Chain A
Amino acid sequence: MVQIGDTIPSATFAYIPYTPELEDIAACGAPSKLSTDSWKGKKVVLFAVPGAFTPTCHVSHLPSYVKHYSELKAKGVDEIVCIATNDMFVMSAWGRANGTADKIIMASDTDAKFSAALGHTVDLSGAGFGTRTGRYALVIDNLKVVVLEVETNPSAMEVTSAEHILSKL
């Protein structure tokens, strides 16, 4: 289990970089990769959700980060990243459905590898969803975990909301 003070595991996430043409939901964008190496020297807020377009995540989680974007940036956050096990096309579409534009990088934690390395996955095979990321939020400073919040109930959003993370910055 990852702890505060640890260096984050190295990882690469598939994602579709935002471009203005993507405002047309029918456009698909160009796949790319986001590496944790790119976070050297940066302050990054990363939050993970069990699934795109699912209740809780969709209704409250992602919108809270969109809403508090400016405040997060004002606290020195360089990048805000949302991950789930959904593929990058689904993540891109979910972001666009929530108006994330270029504010939040919507990335795919394929097979929950990064989340598994942190010790935060949830087995939803019983519901037919396979292994998903848990619901957690990290503040990473120059690749070190400085804030770690984990929802003990993956359907709730209390300590992983943008509001709560802001209070920790």
Chain B
Amino acid sequence: MMSAQVGNKIPDGSFPYIPYTPGLADGKSCGVPSKVTTDDWKGKRVVIFAVPGAFTPTCHVSHLPGFVSKYDELKAKGVDVIACLASNDHWVMSGWGRVEGVEDKILMLSDVDGAWSEKLGLKRPDGRTKRYAIIIDDLVIKSLEVSWHALFLSQIAMDTALMRILGGKG
């Protein structure tokens, strides 16, 4: 059942993650687990991009670096929070974020069992999240791009989402 539509309120969610601290930069220490909940996003503009897996082709090569490089522009457009979501656990998400040098720019969140994505109708049969980008304003979905195809067309979906935000349409 698809509940993700523009104008809908997002479902409640709670995502384990490891907050960035400068000590994590050397990649050897592990950090302290914490949680982000959708309540934290009240009154905020949030961009989330979800990927089927950390460190996998397409995800690793294209998406995360793209959002890192556009960070300043996104903040200038009033985005309060940028988050990357996958069903990998929070240790893996933290490791991936550190390998890509995201620091505190992007929250690397774990969608445990793909449960939140599932509430949006965006979980794959294999248990992973689909590839999607969602813009949320005060908990309401303003924009949603879902990639129904792998690889090539998924890059178009992500670029569209970025252009939408940066073009002020989101």
Contact = CB atoms under 8 A, between A and B. Distances in A.
Interface of A: 25-26, 28, 51-55, 58-59, 86-87, 89-90, 92-94, 97, 128-130
Interface in B1-51: 16, 27-30
Contacts of B89: 51, 54, 128-129
B56 A89 contact: yes
A54 B110 CA distance: 14
Contacts of A90: 53-55, 88, 92, 95
B9 to A, nearest CB: 24
Given A90-B54, A128-B113, A52 B95 contact: yes
18 contacts: A26-B61, A28-B56, A28-B57, A28-B60, A51-B92, A52-B92, A53-B92, A58-B91, A87-B56, A89-B54, A89-B55, A90-B53, A90-B95, A93-B60, A97-B27, A97-B99, A128-B89, A129-B89
A28 B29 contact: no
A97 B95 contact: yes
Contacts, number: 66
Interface size class of B (residues with CB under 8 A): 20 to 34
Given A89-B60, A129-B89, A55 B30 contact: yes
Contact of A28 (B61, B94, B96): B61
Contacts of A86: 88, 92
Interface of A is mostly: loop
B91 A59 contact: no
Contacts of A26: 60-61, 65
A25 B94 CA distance: 15
Given A52-B92, A58-B95, 14 more contacts: A26-B61, A26-B65, A28-B55, A28-B57, A53-B92, A54-B30, A54-B91, A59-B30, A89-B53, A89-B56, A90-B54, A94-B95, A97-B99, A128-B113
B112 interface: yes
Contacts of B100: 25
